[in-house]
Structures are given as C-alpha cells and as structure tokens.
Amino acid sequence: MRPNKRDELVRKALQVFYKSGFHATGMDKLVVETGVSKTSMYKHFRTKEELILAALRLRDENFRNWFLRRVQELADTPAEQLLASFDALGEWFNEDGFRGCMFIKAGAEFQEKEHPIHVQAAEHKRALLEYFTDLARKAGARNPEALGCQILLLKEGAIVTAVLLKSCDPARDAKAAAQVLLDAALA
C-alpha cells in the first residue's frame, strides 16, 4: 500500500529534522529537502511545530518498535534484556547517519517544559523508563523504579557520548556499568 502524501511528508521531514535540527530547518529548507511545496505542507500542517510533532510521533513509534523487538531478539530473560538493550544501542550507534537521539535534541531546542514539542520528547523518555522499570520488576530487582531510572540514565548518557566522543565505546561501557547495577539490585 502506498503511503499517503501526509505520511510521506512526515517521513521525509523526519529525515531532514534528524539531520539538520529543528530550529535550523525552516520551511524553505523543508520544501527543498522533501520536494513538497509549501502549499501542500500547509494543507496538512498549519505550522512547522505541528509537522515537528508528527515527525516526533513517527520517530517514537519507529524507534520503540525497533528497540523493543531487537532487545527481545537478543535476550530471553528480563535481566538479560536490560543488558541487551545496550547491545541494541551499539548497533544503532554504528549505523550510517547516526546523529544521536531526536528526543534529546527536541528537549534541548524546545526547553520550556509546557511546550508541546518538549512534552512529546519527555513522553518518549517516560515510555522508555516504564519499559526499563517493568523489565527490572520482572527480573526481581529489589527497587525496580530505581534500577529503571539508572538504566535509562546510562542509555541516555551512552547516546550523548556516542555522538560527542569517538574515543569511547559507550554502548559497551554503559553495559558494563549496567551489569554492576543489575548485580547489586538482584543481590
């Protein structure tokens, strides 16, 4: 089934925003990069912010579907899946075109906590926190909420480190730290 024009625009805009950022991408750049006229864009989205929100929703769906599926493919038990999440991250970090987390970028570019784009970015992180906390609970951690937060913190730090430092192996290093935290939480 061929995607409709709106979906195609969101998919193309997602690629442009990921590559160039949100504030640095104006409507003129979107027209050039997506091949969609301003008239067509405004037919589907009243503002650039509405288009950003749609792109973030698509990215959230795509990333979480891939990430959760990949973690399940890599490991069987909840404890192993907490650690395998860093193996999945390592795969992502090594992809051509890896430019970090779109939600970290959105939160940094739209810092007002009530701004809809900031809220959307925070919701993505909350969903991942719930996922890690649920895995920690299923693994038998004494304090699954704390372990979920710690794993999320390691994940986010690994992403930033993967973007900024080429001298580290952030997925491997974060996985080693997660192992220590997991061992302590299960002892």
What's the CATH code of the domain at 144? 1.10.357.10
Mean pLDDT of 6-34: 92
Mean pLDDT of 100-104: 97
Residue 84 has pLDDT above 70, yes or no: yes
Domain for residue 8, yes or no?
no
Mean pLDDT of 94-114: 95
Domain housing 115: 57-186
Domain for residue 76, yes or no?
yes
Query: Is the model more confident about 62 or about 6?
Result: 62
Domain for residue 74, yes or no?
yes
Which residue, 164, 140, 134, 1, is CA-closest to 72?
134
pLDDT at 92: 97
Domain for residue 77, yes or no?
yes
CA–CA separation, 83 vs 179, rounded Å?
A: 7
Domain count, the chain: 1
Quickly state the pLDDT bin for 1 (edges 50, 70, 90): very low
pLDDT at 3: 61
Residue 121 has pLDDT above 80, yes or no: yes
Domain for residue 31, yes or no?
no
Domain for residue 24, yes or no?
no
The helix/strand/coil state of 136 is: helix
Q: Could you tell me what percent of the chain has a pLDDT over 90?
A: 86
Domain for residue 3, yes or no?
no
Express the helix, strand and coil content of the chain in percent, nearest 5 each: 75, 0, 25
Which residue, 35, 32, 92, is CA-closest to 62?
92
Domain for residue 32, yes or no?
no
pLDDT at 4: 85
Helix axes 144-164, 102-109, angle to 10 degrees: 90
CA–CA separation, 34 vs 48, rounded Å?
A: 14
Which residue, 86, 26, 71, is CA-closest to 52?
26
